[in-house]
């Protein structure tokens, strides 16, 4: 019963807390603050998991809270790969910021891109005008990182934003259409070869979803096309998939991927990609027109231009309280912050950003009251990765699961974490349709450039 109780607690406590369902903070109760006047301004940059959590946690603070983002929506990034593989529509994993926070009386929103931050002057330069702040929360996330590999940056497809996912879906579906009329076997093979670089959770989930998309389109849309022509490759420098997972789960994930027809190229790296040929370490060349890059991210250029210390990944080196050194009124959270626990930097994951956003809000509330900020302590909720239909791996507080049971846990956790009842309902319907009929109805090519 002990492990079952742990799982029950995870599903109905940890996951909903990660979904911004409430403004509860384990650090302090900001509802006790005096609301008589709002003479302070808190600016949060970025409407991701951390920024949104911080703003909601400041709902009772005696300050004006302004959220700035270049997009008017909050994006549920963990399901981006499903948009890229025609499993979900873009609007099902995004929700307008004003719709989420519109009832928060001290909240305001500015849709603008932040171009520069002056920490000394406590000001921001944005495309919507200059802003001054009393307290700042930088939750700007990260950007795809391309190493100095010939042709990679200009030809590989990243997966960080909504437009990236739509671009991948358009590209992959267009490759299938072009392959149906290709005159040579070599040209057809290059069009039907889909490669993913990076076997972390994003890469593994992407490769598994691509293998299932291939199965659907091969059977339903191109029955006369040679099934042997379709290939899905997963390239990883490490000698295992999901390197951060327990070894047992890593091996299980590799076995599941191989059963689904994914070719694993472990212990090797990409040495070049010109949009026509994928070159791997050792000189192997694979005709390929699709390379999805899931092998690395780093801090944004905005963070790297602040003039403060950053890590090798381009993330801000923050204090234990998440404050930027030398600037006690400014905080960095989520992917923008480099924070070490047990000698290792915390990963760029939603649970980290959410907990950091909660503490940053609590510390600002404490500063408004004249109290000292608290130190950050990360509580690891566990690791989850799905590998397509009926298959996933999970490590939750010592409980290791694989296969169907882990897949059910993954479904419930992600369904609970999606912001908005309508979005959760639509995603549930799509998942149920895919599960019952093994079909993906969103196989449409919508290219705004045409």
pLDDT of residue 10: 46
H or E element at residue 351: helix 350-369
Q: What is the distance of C-alpha 358 from the center of its chain? A: 18
CB atoms closer than 10 angstroms to residue 154? 10
The count of structural domains within the chain is 1
Instruction: Locate 303 and state its tokens.
Output: 């963070």
Domain membership of residue 159 (yes or no) is: no
Structural domain of 46:
33-70+112-144+298-380
Closest CA to 90 of 432, 333, 448: 448
Three-state secondary-structure class, residue 152: helix
pLDDT of residue 2: 44
Note down pLDDT in tens along the chain; length 450 residues.
Answer: 444 444 444 444 444 444 443 334 454 444 444 444 568 999 999 999 999 999 999 998 999 999 999 999 999 999 999 999 999 999 999 999 999 998 999 999 999 999 999 999 999 999 999 999 999 999 999 999 899 999 999 999 999 999 999 999 999 999 999 999 998 999 999 999 999 999 999 999 999 999 999 998 888 888 888 888 899 999 999 999 999 899 999 999 999 999 999 999 999 999 999 999 999 998 899 999 999 999 988 888 899 889 899 998 899 999 999 999 999 999 999 999 999 988 889 999 999 999 999 999 999 999 999 999 999 999 999 999 999 888 999 998 889 999 999 999 999 999 988 888 888 898 988 888 877 777 666 788 876 555
H or E element at residue 190: helix 185-191
Tell me the β-bridge partners of 131.
124
The C-alpha angle with vertex 273 and arms to 271 and 277, in degrees rounded to 5, equals 110
Domain membership of residue 126 (yes or no) is: yes
* Predicted TM-score of the model (pTM): 0.88
- CA–CA dist 331, 316 (Å, integer): 10
Residue reference for tokens 């005096």 = 34
Within 50-185, strands assigned E span: 64-69, 73-75, 94-96, 107-111, 114-118, 123-126, 129-132, 135-138, 142-144, 157-158
Q: Catalytic annotation on 358?
A: no
Tell me the β-bridge partners of 94.
75
Which whole-number Å values give the CA distances from 400 to 231, 245, 307, in the listed order? 31, 10, 43
- CA–CA dist 156, 171 (Å, integer): 11
For residue 340, the domain's CATH number is 3.50.50.60
For residue range 340-381, what is the model confidence (pLDDT) as tens digits? 988 889 999 999 999 999 999 999 999 999 999 999 999 999
Which whole-number Å values give the CA distances from 75 to 14, 203, 223, 350, in the listed order? 20, 19, 36, 11
Domain membership of residue 350 (yes or no) is: yes
Q: Is 317 within 8 Å of 323 (Cβ atoms)? A: no
Domain membership of residue 270 (yes or no) is: no
- CA–CA dist 243, 200 (Å, integer): 7
Give one DSSP letter per residue of 387-446, joined into a string.
-STT-EEEEETTEEEETHHHHHHHHHHHHHHSSSHHHHHHHHHHHHHHHHH---S-----
In the set 91, 148, 205, 236, the catalytic residue is 205
Question: Residues 6 or more apart from 312 whose CB is under 8 A from it?
Answer: none
CB atoms closer than 10 angstroms to residue 362? 23
What Rg value do the Cα atoms of the chain yield, rounded?
A: 23
pLDDT of residue 388: 84
Q: What is the distance of C-alpha 227 from the center of its chain? A: 32
Domain membership of residue 390 (yes or no) is: no
Phi-psi region of 137 (alpha: psi -120 to 50; beta: other; left: phi over 0): beta
Q: What is the distance of C-alpha 377 from the center of its chain? A: 22
Strand order in the sheet with 383-386: 383-386, 392-396, 399-402
pLDDT of residue 66: 96
Domain membership of residue 412 (yes or no) is: no
H or E element at residue 188: helix 185-191
How many Cα atoms are found within 13 Å in the side-chain-facing hemisphere of 348?
Answer: 27
Domain membership of residue 42 (yes or no) is: yes
H or E element at residue 365: helix 350-369
pLDDT of residue 254: 96
Question: Residues 6 or more apart from 25 whose CB is under 8 A from it?
Answer: 57, 358, 359, 361, 362
DSSP assignment letter at 132: E
Domain membership of residue 332 (yes or no) is: yes
């Amino acid at each position: 019963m002990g492990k079952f109780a742990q799982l029950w607690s995870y599903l109905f406590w940890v996951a909903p807390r990660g979904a911004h369902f409430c403004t509860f903070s384990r650090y302090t109760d900001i509802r006790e603050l005096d609301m008589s006047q709002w003479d302070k301004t808190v600016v949060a940059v970025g409407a991701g998991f951390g920024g949104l959590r911080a703003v909601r946690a400041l709902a009772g603070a005696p300050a004006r809270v302004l959220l700035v983002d270049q997009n008017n929506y909050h994006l549920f990034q963990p399901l981006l790969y499903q948009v890229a593989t025609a499993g979900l529509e873009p609007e099902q994993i995004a929700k307008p910021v004003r719709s989420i926070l519109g009832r928060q009386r001290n909240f305001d929103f500015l849709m603008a891109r932040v171009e520069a931050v002056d920490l000394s002057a406590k000001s921001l330069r944005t495309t919507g005008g200059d802003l001054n702040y009393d307290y700042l929360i930088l939750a700007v996330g990260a950007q795809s990182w391309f190493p100095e590999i010939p042709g990679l940056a200009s030809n590989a497809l990243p997966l960080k934003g909504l437009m990236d996912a739509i671009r991948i879906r358009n590209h992959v579906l267009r490759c299938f259409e072009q392959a149906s009329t290709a005159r040579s076997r070599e040209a057809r093979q290059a069009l039907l070869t889909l490669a993913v670089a990076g076997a972390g959770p994003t890469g593994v989930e992407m490769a598994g979803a691509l293998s299932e998309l291939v199965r659907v389109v091969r059977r339903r849309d191109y029955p006369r096309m040679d099934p042997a022509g379709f290939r899905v490759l997963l390239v990883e420098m490490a000698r295992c998939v999901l390197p951060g997972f327990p070894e047992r789960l890593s091996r299980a994930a590799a076995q599941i991927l191989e059963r689904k027809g994914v070719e694993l190229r472990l212990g090797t790296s990409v040495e070049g990609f010109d949009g026509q040929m994928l070159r791997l370490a050792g000189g192997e060349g694979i005709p390929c027109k699709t390379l999805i890059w899931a092998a690395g991210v780093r801090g944004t250029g905005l963070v790297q231009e602040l003039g403060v210390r950053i890590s090798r990944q381009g993330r801000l080196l923050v204090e234990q309280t998440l404050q930027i050194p030398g600037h006690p009124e400014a905080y960095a959270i989520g992917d923008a912050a480099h924070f070490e626990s047990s000698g290792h930097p915390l990963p760029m994951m939603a649970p980290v950003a959410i907990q950091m956003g909660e503490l940053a809000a609590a510390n600002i509330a404490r500063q408004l009251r004249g109290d000292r900020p608290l130190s950050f302590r990360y509580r690891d909720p566990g690791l989850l990765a799905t590998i397509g239909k009926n298959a996933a791996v999970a490590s939750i507080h010592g409980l290791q699961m694989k296969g169907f049971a882990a897949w059910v846990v993954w479904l419930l956790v992600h369904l609970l974490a999606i912001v908005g009842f309508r979005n959760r309902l639509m995603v549930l319907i799509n998942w149920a349709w895919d599960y019952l009929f093994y079909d993906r109805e969103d196989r449409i090519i919508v290219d705004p450039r045409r």
